[in-house]
Amino acid sequence: DGGITQSPKYLFRKEGQNVTLSCEQNLNHDAMYWYRQDPGQGLRLIYYSQIVNDFQKGDIAEGYSVSREKKESFPLTVTSAQKNPTAFYLCASYRDLTGELFFGEGSRLTVL
Amino acid sequence: EDKVVQSPLSLVVHEGDTVTLNCSYEVTNFRSLLWYKQEKKAPTFLFMLTSSGIEKKSGRLSSILDKKELFSILNITATQTGDSAVYLCAVAGGTSYGKLTFGQGTILTVHP
């Protein structure tokens, strides 16, 4: 079955450390997205990529970085510059046929 | 700046009740409005609406869009405990179909 795999599901990090969240899809979708979810604030867009080797900042890109070297993969790095990184991170890809975003299971990052 | 506002933020009902969830939006170059259900982790797609006045229906769930008044409603009839979830409304605007602006979500709790 096709889908989006995010890892790790849970991650703890000390302040000052960078951490990379993995997102892999086998749906053959061109566009991929990273969203952050905080309680009471819905989902906010961090970065997105519509094609390999190209990506765009979303609404809250500061303190994050991404790469898109392969169509299947869109990793997100949470850097030490991100002031409040504790959150639930969701990766998604765009399904052209239905016009929907298809989400992974998410990664919950806690900074100690 | 695109904006999506959902109401109510939370709702507690008993099985068998009918609920109406509201979503109002302001977006540049509106393309579509989407509803998602989030139970624990990954949001799952419910509906995509692009035209005013045309009801989308799936079982006990239905939704309609009013592009003149810039809002949508999601109705759930004969609620069940399995309907307990966060319901997210999102709007696609601009040039990237997958670049969604989400509302805060409505937390629905259905008691037996």
What tens digit of pLDDT does each residue of B40-76 get?
888 999 999 998 888 999 999 999 999 999 999 999 9
Closest CA–CA distance from residue A61 to any residue of chain B (Å):
14
Task: With beta carbons under 8 A apart, name residues in chain A contacting B4.
Answer: 42
* Whether A33 and B98 lie within 8 Å, measured CB to CB: yes
Q: Are B96 and A90 an interchain contact pair (Cβ–Cβ within 8 Å)?
A: no
Band (A42; pLDDT cuts 50, 70, 90)? confident
- Judged by CB atoms closer than 8 Å, whether chains meet at B102 and A104 is answered as no
The pLDDT, as a whole number, for residue B97 is 67
Compute the mean pLDDT over every residue in chain B, rounded to the nearest whole number: 93
CB contact under 8 A, B99 and A105: no
Determine, for residues A44 and B102 on separate chains, whether the beta-carbon distance falls below 8 Å.
yes
d(CA A35, CA A78): 12
Q: In whole angstroms, give the CA distance from residue B27 to residue B29.
A: 6
Q: Which residues pair with A100 in a beta bridge?
A: A95
- Neighbour tally for A38: CB within 10 Å: 13
Residue B51 has a pLDDT of 84
**A47 has a pLDDT exceeding 80:** yes
Give the pLDDT of residue A39: 81
- Please give, rounded to a whole number of angstroms, the shortest distance from the CA of A90 to a CA of chain B: 8
Residue of A nearest to B101 (CA): A44
Residues 6+ apart with CB under 8 A from B59: none
Chain A to chain B Cβ contacts (< 8 Å): 61
Q: Of B44, B92, B102, which is closest to A43 when you measure between CB atoms?
A: B102
**In which band, very low, low, confident or very high, does the pLDDT at A1 lie, cut at 50, 70 and 90?**
low
**Residues near B74 by beta carbon (within 8 Å), at least 6 away in sequence:** B20, B21, B23, B35, B46, B47, B61, B62, B63, B87, B89
The shortest CB-CB distance from B42 to any of A56, A99, A103 is to: A103
Share of chain B above pLDDT 90, in %: 79
User: Taking the mean position of all CA atoms in its chain, how far away is CA A91?
Assistant: 4
Q: Nearest to residue A29, comparing CAs of A108, A95, A81, A85? A: A95
